[in-house]
Structure 1
Amino acid sequence: MSAEISERSVGGLRWLWVRGPRAEVFRALGGVAAAEIHAVLGGLPEAGALKAFAETTAGRRLVGEVLAATERTHSRELTELHDLAAGAGFDVDAMVLANLRGDLGGDDGVGCSDLGWRAEPPAARLRQGHLAEHSYIAHNEDGAPALSGRFMLLTLQLDGEQPVTAQWYPGFLPSNAFAATAAGVAWGINHVQVARPAVAPGRHFVARALQHESSFEATIDYLRGIPTAGGFTYTIGDVHSGRVATVEVAAGQSAVVEAAPYIWHTNHLRYLEAPGGAAGSGGVRSLGQREESEARGAVLDALTPVAPDRQWFLEVLTGSVRRTAAGDDPLMTHCSTVVDLTAAEITLQADGQPPATVPWTEFVPQPE
C-alpha cells in the first residue's frame, strides 16, 4: 500500500496529513517536502560547527557512541529518518547529524517558553473562589527567522498506530516542538543544553517514540525510564484528568514536577541543576544564552494567574516572552499554542496571523 498525502492550512500554518505504512509515509513525506528539507538543513546555522566537530577524534567518538545507543533502543525512529532522507534525496548522514544537534555538547542557541495550569477539583474552587475551572498547557515555538514559512503542522496516521499531530521543522523528526496524540496527551518541548552529554539515545528519537505512549501516566513513566544524551523539557497535559506536569530530561537524568496549579519553563534547568549554575549530579548544567532564558523565566515566574483562560495564555505568549529576532535576538516565535485540556481544544496563532481554534478530535484524528 502506498502512502496517502493531503494538505490543508490552519491559522496561517501549512498542514500536511500523511497516512499509510511507516516506510512509505516517511519516504512520501520526504518527497513532498523535499524543497523545505533542503532549505532548512542547508541553512542550519549549526551545520558547519556540527560537521567540524564530527570530524574531530573526540567528535567521531561521541557521535558514534550516541548513534549506537540510539540504534539499540530507537532503531524504528532512526529508520524513519533514513526513509525521510531517501524520499527527499538528502544526504542521510548529514540529516542524522542535524538530528543529533543538542546531543553532542556545544552551543546551538536556546528558544521556546511553556506554561501550564492544573484546575483544582470543584471543592477546592468553591473554598478559594478564584481558581480556573479549566486546565491548560501553552507553548511558544521559537526558531531561526529563516524557518518562517517552512515551519508547519504534520499529522501522521501510520498503519496500526495511534495518530499524532506535531509541529514540524522539515528535515527533523516531527518530535522536537509540540505534539498531541489520539490518547488525549499533549506536550510542548523546550531545548536545554548540557555541558557533558550522556552516552544515551538522541533526544529527538526519544521524543518521537514518546508519541506512541497511550496515557499521561505512561508518558511520564517513559520519560523517567529512558535516558537521553542531550536535554529537553516537556510540559505535558492530559485531556482526561486535567493533570499537567513538567519533565526535565537531560544527560541521562530526569525530574518530574506536577503543576499546583501554575507551572512554567524556558530553556534552563530548574529541577536538575545544582544551585548557582554549577555542574550538578552527573555533570548536568545549562549552556548558551542562559541570561535570555532566565529573563523570560523571570517574566513567567512573576505572573500571578487568577482564573486564567485561553486569552490570558495567548496574551502572555504573544507579549513579553515573544521572540522577534530584533537586535541581538537570533530567534523569532513561529507559533503560539494554547491547549484547553478541559474543553479539548487547541488554539494556534502563527506569527502575524489571527488565532484559530481546532477541536482535539479534528486536530488529531481518532484511531480507525
Structure 2
Amino acid sequence: MGAHVREQEFAGLRWLVASGEREEVFEMLGQAARSEIRTVHQELPEAEALHIWARTELGSAHLRRLVSETRRSCPTQVRELRALAQGAGLESLMLANLRGDLGTDDGTGCTDLGWRRSRSYVAHNEDGAPALEGRLMLLTLLIDGDVPVTTQWYPGFLPANTYVATGHGLVWGINHIQATRPALAAGRHFVARALQQAPDLEAAVQLLRTVPSAGGFAYTIGARETGRVVVVEAVAGRSALVEAQPAHPLQWHTNHLRHHPLPLDVPSTQPSSGAGSLGQRAAGSLGGYEESQARGKVLAGLDVPDREPSVDWFLDALTSAPLPRGVYRTAAGSDPLMTLCTTVTDLDADSITLRIPGRPSATLPLSAYVRGNADAR
C-alpha cells in the first residue's frame, strides 16, 4: 500500500499523521487504530438500541433511504468510511456514524465561542464520556489532491464532528443539535467531512446551505485570511447564519438552536441514550435542552472585554468552573460528561492552543498544526 501513517504526540494527545491515496489512507487508519475503534464502538451507549431499531421493518427502511441519500450527496465520504471499516474489520460503522440523523435523543455536549473585533478567535470545548479520555486523538490527513486537514478524532467515526483546521485557513468547532424531525438528506458527519475542502468561508457557508444534512450541527467558523467569524446552524435540511461584528464581537453556541426561526429542536423529556460526541446521561441530570440552555446562560453572562481578549481569556471562560458558574464539564455528580479537550485558535497570530485535563496548555503555529508538524513549537 502507498499510504503511510506516522505517530507523534502533542498537548498530551496521541497524533496520527496519514498521507497517501484517499481510500488507502482510511484503510490504513482503520488498521492503525483498530483496537481504539473497536473499544469506542463497544462502549457507544446507544449501540444496542441502534441495532435493535435497524432490524425493525420501519428502521431498516428508513436507514436504507438515509444511506442512499448520503451516498448520493457525499459519495467520496461514504467511500472513506467504507475503507475505514474495512481496515478496522467492522461492518457497523455506517450505523454509528448516522446515529445523530435518526431523530433519537443524542444528548448534549460541546461549547463554542467565536470572536471578531480587531482580532479574531474561535474556541471550543470538546465534551465526551470519561471512557473516551485517552482515546480522543489528533488526526492529520494529507490526502493526495486535497488540502491538509487536522481534526480531533474519535476512532471509528468520520474525522468531522469535533474541532477542524484546514489548509485553506479555515477553522471551526461543531456542536450537536438535536433534530427531532430529521430531513431525508445526507448524514451530518458526511456533510461536515465534505466541508473540509471548502476553499474559503463563502464556499463553506454555501455548501452548508446547498447540501442539506439529515440531523443537525452548529458550526462556529473562522477564516484566517479575512478574520471573519460566523455561526451556521445546519439542521434537518435548513440553515441559519449569524456573523460576529465589532459592535457585537462575541458569539457563543451550545446544543440548542439560537438563530433558526423554525422549531427544529425541542426540549427532551425522555432519558437520553447519548450525550455530547459520545456519552450517556445519568439519572437525575438535567435534560439535554435544559443543560444546553444552562451553559448558554453562563456564556450570555460573560463580561465582554473592552480590549481584545487573549487566548488565556478564552481558556478561562471555557475551563474555569462547571455549572452553574461555568461550562467546564467534570463528569461529577449527575453530569455524565467531561471536557476532554479545550482548543483556542488566534487567527491573527496564526496560533492554536490545546489543553486537556491535568496537562498544561500547548501551542503551535496554526499553519504547522494543519500539516501535522508537531516539531514547530
- Structure 1 counterpart of 2:232, from 240, 243, 247: 247
- Residues 265, 352 of structure 1: CA spacing in aligned structure 2 closer, same or farther, 3 A cutoff? same
Size of the aligned set, in residue pairs, is 344
What amino acid is aligned across from residue 291 of structure 1 in structure 2? E
Q: Which runs of 4+ in 1 moved over 2 A?
A: 283-288
Match of 1:106 among 104, 107, 112: 104
| SS, match of residue 100 in structure 2 | coil
Does 2:364 align with 1:358? Answer: yes
Corresponding position of 2:345: 339
Change in Cα spacing, 1:286 to 1:118, as seen in structure 2 (3 Å) is: farther
Distance in structure 2 (CA, Å) of the matches to 1:105 and 1:53: 12
Q: What corresponds to 2:113 in structure 1?
A: 115
Contact 2:166 2:370 in 1 (8 A): yes
CA contact (8 A) 2:93 2:156 kept: yes
The equivalent residue for 1:324 is 330
The answer on 1:258 being equivalent to 2:259 is: no
SS of the residue corresponding to residue 180 of structure 1 reads: strand
CA distance in 1, matches of 2:369, 2:304: 27
Please identify, of 55-64 and 247-256, the stretch whose mean Cα deviation from structure 2 is larger.
Answer: 55-64
* 1:338 to 1:180, Cα distance in 2 relative to 1, 3 A: same
Contact 1:138 1:339 in 2 (8 A): yes
TM-score, normalising length from structure 2?
A: 0.89
Q: After the TM superposition, which residues 14-53 of structure 1 pair with which residues of structure 2 at under 5 Å, given as runs? A: 14-53=14-53
Structure 1 residue 284 displacement after superposition: 4.6
For structure 2, list consecutive stretches of 5 or more residues without a partner in the other structure.
Answer: 269-286, 321-325, 373-377
SS of the residue aligned with 2:240? strand
1:66 Cα shift?
1.1
- Asked whether the 8 Å contact 2:13–2:138 carries over to 1, the reply is yes
Task: Check whether the contact 1:273–1:284 (CA below 8 A) recurs between aligned residues.
Answer: no
Q: 1:24-46 CA deviation, whole Å, 9 max, x = no partner?
A: 10011000000000000111011
Question: How far apart in 2 are the matches of 1:173 and 1:330?
Answer: 24
Are the equivalent residues in 2 in contact too, given 1:71–1:78 (CA < 8 A)? yes
| Partner-residue secondary structure (3-state), 2:82 | helix
Question: Where does residue 273 of structure 2 map in the other structure?
Answer: none
CA contact (8 A) 2:73 2:186 kept: yes
Q: Which residue of 1 aligns with 2:218?
A: 233
Q: Tell me which amino acid in the other structure corresponds to 1:197.
A: P
- Asked if the contact 1:191–1:231 (Cα under 8 Å) also holds between the matched residues in 2, the reply is yes
Q: Identify the residue that residue 96 of structure 1 maps to in structure 2.
A: 94
Query: How far does residue 286 in structure 1 lie from its aligned partner after superposition?
Result: 5.4
Relative to the length of structure 1, the TM-score reads: 0.91
* C-alpha separation in 2, matches of 1:72 and 1:305: 44
Amino acid at match of 1:353: R
Q: Tell me, yes or no, if structure 1 residue 67 matches structure 2 residue 67.
A: yes
| CA–CA separation in structure 1 for the residues paired with 2:335 and 2:109 | 10
Aligned CA distance change for structure 1 residues 286 and 75 (closer, same or farther; 3 Å): farther
Residue 178 of structure 2 corresponds to residue 178 of structure 1: no
Which secondary structure state, in structure 1, belongs to the residue aligned with residue 79 of structure 2?
Answer: helix
Contact 2:252 2:296 in 1 (8 A): yes
Q: Does 1:270 align with 2:258?
A: yes
Which residue in 2 is equivalent to 1:125? none
Write the letter of the residue equivalent to 1:265: H
List per-residue Cα deviations over 1:256-297 (Å, max 9, x = no partner).
1001211000000111255xxxxx2xx554545111100000
- Whether the 8 Å contact between 1:192 and 1:286 is mirrored in structure 2 is no
CA RMSD between the two structures:
1.3
Q: Percent identity between the aligned chains?
A: 54
